[in-house]
Amino acid sequence: MLRLVAALAAGLALACAPERREPAERPSFVVLLADDLGYGDLGSTGVPDLQTPVLDRLASEGASFTDAYAASPVCSPTRVALLTGLYPQRLGHAFEDFLSVGSAGLDPARVTTLAERLRRAGYRTACYGKWNVEGHRRHGPLFFPNAHGFEHWFGTRRNHDYFTHRSLWNGEPDLYEDGRPVEVEGYTDRLLADRAVEFIESAADSGEPFLLYLPWLLPHYPLQAPDDRRIAPIGDRATYAKMVEFLDLQVGRILDALRDAGIERDTLVVFTSDNGGHTTARNAPLRGGKQGLTEGGIRVPLFLRWPGVIPAGERVSAPAITMDLPVTILTAAGLAAEAQGMDGVDLLPIATGSAPVEPRTLFWRRREINVKKKVDRILARAVRHGDWKLLDSGRALHLYHLPDDPGEERDLAAEEHAELLRLEALLDAWEHDVSPAADAR
């Protein structure tokens, strides 16, 4: 009798255990990039005044990285890092700031993007959203997504009025389809999700693996709720909250499309943000926000979901950074050789718990670039080595032990001088390593 009970218990445990399987040989990839989302603006990070049930579920269905970082505290450099797998500093000083209309852009003759690498391997590729890495206006379609390996692009060059799709700076139209200006009615991010759902359905019908890159505009300024055309003033938290909740709803549409197409188990979904939240966002418990190198400017949400491969409910404290994402994707696609020379690591062994977590050293440098005024100056630098972080504000060196002090409230520079000098030496060596032979301007 005891043997029978034991056998039944073992069978029940096996039936209840999460199914594990080998990764698909040619999985698909969905990369969801929020714009200026605060680290603390999700239910999973304790937000008190808005609801994000879809993103909270996404976090619980896979691996949630508590110490994930953007490559930069501003948008363009992080996007460059995501597309290339490189520290943006390797491409020249201009790539450390916003790639405005007067700056250098991401040149397809100089770099090979993640989309190009996957497309050469037979993947379908599409980008629906904000590009923001083309630089000079005269580059135009030569530097647009279609020139960087994306078969389809519907989206914007930068942020704009969510209803008129016109630039807030010069009033020009800013909505494109495959490089051509188009006029379409609707709230921008709803239109992006519409196209993404259509692409998923088409790709599923074809049976071909794909890369879907969705760089949302939400919840970046201008503050416009999907049910209100007015532009709210900076600091209008209620409007910002509606925008975050609408982003959550659109992510839900993407996940539902994967499920309905029967391909969610063969798709790695990645969700993260391009930098910390701006003025209206909540970055708690971190200090600072967008444009700064305190944790609030660079630490971002990061969720990886791949049912049957990444166990549900994994909470990962190992540091991760934007450049890890293309390396992870290429390795999962069986194209690890394509990731050689990139600055990231494969996150799947960490997310699945199949490999020990090794200490890492991550770096940041923030510049101000103004082509018209001929300004090119370093604003701040930072390095994280293991649990320690050195922040060079340009005026002083600050040292923090992050596990005990994620809000960077206690500066240990005077108490741990040897550690400070060690990290400063690492930072100086990195700067020398990433400096290109000739600056890209």
> Could you give the residue numbers annotated as active site?
75, 136
180-181 and 176-177 beta bridge pairing: antiparallel
Tokens for 202?
Answer: 């088409």
| Calpha distance 430→441 (Å, rounded) | 21
Cis peptide preceding 219, ω within 30 of 0: yes
Edge-to-edge strand order for the sheet containing 299-300? 299-300, 68-69, 320-321
Which among 72, 65, 71 is positioned nearest to 44, based on CA atoms?
Answer: 65
99 in Cβ contact with 164 (< 8 Å): no
Question: Which amino acid type is present at position 91?
Answer: L
Handedness of CA 173, 178, 179, 181 (dihedral sign): negative
Phi, psi of 81 (to 5 degrees): -65, -40
154 in Cβ contact with 192 (< 8 Å): yes
Tokens for 59?
Answer: 């976090």
153 in Cβ contact with 176 (< 8 Å): yes
Tokens for 143?
Answer: 């530097």
| Strands (DSSP E) found in 6-121 | 28-34, 63-65, 68-69
Question: In which element (H, E) is residue 392 found?
Answer: strand 388-392
Residues 6+ apart with CB under 8 A from 256: none
100 in Cβ contact with 109 (< 8 Å): no
152 in Cβ contact with 199 (< 8 Å): yes
Question: Which amino acid type is present at position 102?
Answer: G
160 in Cβ contact with 218 (< 8 Å): no
